[in-house]
Structure 1
Amino acid sequence: MNAAAGNDGMVRRVVVVTGASGGVGRATARMLAGPGTAVALLARGASGLRAAADEVEAAGGRALPIETDMADFAQVEAAGRRVADELGPIDVWINNAFSSVFAPFQDISPAEFRRVTEVTYLGYVHGTRVALDHMAPRDRGTIVQVGSALAYRSIPLQSAYCGAKHAIVGFTESLRCELRHDRSNVRVTTVHLPAVNTPQFDWLLSRLPRPAQPVPPIYQPEVAARAIIAAADRPNRREYWVGAPTMLTILANRLVPGLLDRYLARTGYQAQQTDRPTDPHRPTNLWRPADGPGQPDHGAHGAFDDRSHPHSSQAWLSRHRRLALAVGGAGAALGVYAFRRR
């Protein structure tokens, strides 16, 4: 059996990343890579997978690219078997693959809506099932569901995607209860992301009059990748919220959902479109990959580098809560001491 080994020859961990050919999945796979880590890369796009595998190998990791349509359970199951056979037992499975359509609901055909649901929701169900098939017998492993602020607060023009992300939350909460009932040591955690600068806005099917864009503020995919890796390392937390916009959106929806309905009805259409004209020849990846054989590799970043934040203070504080609380407590104690000395 081939496996990744560190400089000391010891096998460390095997990680599966779905949607690994571009965007957040690509950035996560690249950041995970290093001596002692084997990364299985699951996606449909051959050129993107090949480039992602090169990045993992260049960082000292072992890469196993597998062309996989996450909507097809048989393909996902076969990929899981291949990972176990070629790399060893799966330690971490990161569900990230998705697709979507930018359009008002009535402009999305039933077949398109079904396809988004099969990739974005059932893809997570399939990945989770295969991960558990490998992890449960060993009573060990971590599953990370990459979610979104839109899993709690839907926005216009993304009904299929928002519906799928909401469904992932419901499915994951049910599964978490079952694992706790079984006293399983397999852990499941979710990372909810803000708007991220990924190639999705260049290749998702869109019927908008102008090119789609993420709703600002926008973050670079590495911000998301750092949070995902932290969640994989510390999966005992149920959820991670990445970025202040995610935190504020989820909390505001709990408090004033009707107000957000009105606000998004007024601003949501324009906020998700650029001022440029639409390219009629742009690729779309709903039915086939936009980075397939003979097509260009799109990488991790989208077209909004000049408007994207490379860091998030909120995300850093979320990953280092104990340190933040300690510093805050020390600051408060010093404040009280100074006040008493006056």
Structure 2
Amino acid sequence: MRVRDSVVVITGASSGIGRATAVAFARKGCPVVLAARRAEALEAVRRECERHRGAEALVVPTDVTDAAAVDDLARRTVQRFGRIDVWVNSAAVTLFGPFEEVPLADFRRVMDVNVMGYVHGARAALRTMREQGSGTLINVSSVVGVLSQPYAHAYGMSKYAIRALSASLRQELLLDRADNIHVCTVLPATIDTPLFEHAANYTGRKILPMPPVYSPERVACAITDLVRVPRREVVVGPMGRSLILQSRVMPGVVERMMARHVDKKHLSHKEPAPAGQGNLHVPAPGQGAAHGGWGGRRRTAMRRLTAAAVLAGAAAGVARWARGT
């Protein structure tokens, strides 16, 4: 499918990966439909999108946990543009804390947004795509949908679930011979977005992104490429690809390594943080942003050097393990 002029719906478009993806499609001349809870932030994204090649942008404030609201999002898109060529499920929230201490209501909210929100989006998108006989559904999962982490149980479970949902949908479409409808999954590594700042946090420690940190534009590029050349799953970030490869060979080693790495790099030992619900139940105020200010774009050279060194060490470790078996 050609990217230009594709009608694209994006949930979670007010910030982070969703916002960067909206701008990326607008730059390619695509009409974009922007969905999230924050109308003010969506209007800011609309203005940014419409500066590129005169792209059209439709704002539809939507809580993805509300199935009727997501159905209305699809209806308004078809009413305005006549079709849905691409639907990107990108809305996400996260929660950190010891398993036995996080409030169950917060745990459930993460699952409602990150899993049921994608279910609602997929149902609305596929219903339209089946009628028109074509389309691409893109679900944004995460590297933690393959590699679990401590203190982020709900988020990790949701990202595993998204991969399972995508695989199951691909199988159904295969059996139905719906060859022109594609379901793709994107697995980003650590991305420079406001997600960490907006996270619900019951650890007592400030949440930090684990290095290396990649830009949201890098994920947006992978998403737009999937429209042109659909693929089952795409990992964004060489560090993520390396860790997934290692986990297939040495799952126990990687599991222990991730536990220690999260404790040392993901949770600050210097900055305490009060307990709070973040943006789980109430959206963050303001106009939003694609970047979180974690240096994902400004430290590109440092990130590449760090990634190269770690990848080299990982490859050597795998080789030593293989020689010993």
Q: 1:5-20 to 2 correspondence within 5 Å? A: 12-20=5-13
Aligned counterpart for 1:83 among listed residues 77, 80, 95: 77
Stretch moving more, 271-280 or 163-172: 271-280
CA deviation map 1:31-68 (0-9, x unaligned): 11047421000101122111111111111211111111
Q: Is the 8 A contact 1:143 1:232 kept in 2?
A: no
1:56: which partner in 2?
A: 49
Q: Do the aligned residues in 1 keep the contact of 2:7 with 2:30 (CA within 8 Å)?
A: yes
| Cα gap change, 1:179 to 1:122, in 2 (>3 Å) | same
Q: 157-166 vs 257-266, which deviates more? A: 257-266
Equivalent in the alignment of 2:106:
112
**Secondary structure of 2:267's aligned partner:** coil
Asked whether 1:199 is paired with 2:202, we answer: no
Number of the residue aligned with 2:319: none
Contact 1:17 1:41 in 2 (8 A): yes
Cα distance in 1, alignment partners of residues 219 and 262 from structure 2:
23
2:159 matched residue in structure 1 = 165
The alpha-carbon distance between structure 1 residues 122 and 96, as it changes in their structure 2 partners (threshold 3 A), is same
State how far apart, in whole Å, the 1-side matches of 2:118 and 2:185 are.
12
CA deviation after TM superposition for structure 1 residue 85, in Å? 0.5
List structure 1 runs of 4+ shifted beyond 4 angstroms.
278-283, 306-314
Moved more, 273-282 or 90-99: 273-282
Is the Cα–Cα contact under 8 Å of residues 202 and 274 in structure 2 kept in the other structure? no
What's the counterpart of residue 303 of structure 1?
Answer: 293
1:276-316 CA-to-partner distances (Å, cap 9, x unmatched) read 534659882100110xxxx32231000212776559999xx
* Other-structure match for 2:173: 179
Gaps of 5+ in 2: 305-325
Counterpart among 223, 226, 235 of residue 218 in structure 2:
223
Q: Give the match for residue 183 of structure 2.
A: 188
Once the two structures are TM-superposed, the CA of residue 262 in structure 1 deviates from its matched residue by: 1.9
**1:121-136 aligned within 5 A:** 121-136=115-130
Matches within 5 A, 1:97-108: 97-108=91-102
**Percent same amino acid at aligned positions?**
39
Given that 1:203 and 1:282 are in contact with CA atoms closer than 8 Å, whether structure 2 keeps it comes out as no
Any idea what SS the aligned residue of 2:73 has? Answer: helix
- Deviates further, 272-281 or 114-123: 272-281
SS at match of 1:154: coil
Provide the aligned length of Structure 1 versus Structure 2.
Answer: 299
Taking a change above 3 Å as real, the CA distance of residues 300 and 75 of structure 1, as seen in their structure-2 partners, is: same
Instruction: Give the AA of the match of 1:303.
Output: G
Residue 124 of structure 1 and its aligned partner are, at CA, apart by 1.0
With structure 1 as the length reference, what TM-score do the two structures score? 0.82
Root-mean-square deviation over aligned CA pairs: 2.2
2:35 to 20, 26, 42: 42
2:266 equivalent to 1:272:
yes
- TM-score, normalised to structure 2's length? 0.86
Closer, same or farther: CA 250–205 of 1 in aligned 2, 3 Å: same
Deviations 1:314-340 (A, max 9, x none): 9xxxxxxxxxxxxxxxxxxxxxxxxxx
Alpha-carbon offset, residue 177 of structure 1: 0.7
CA distance 1:61–1:197, shift in 2 (3 Å): same
Q: Which has the larger radius of gyration?
A: 1
8 Å Cα contact 1:222/1:310 also seen in 2? no
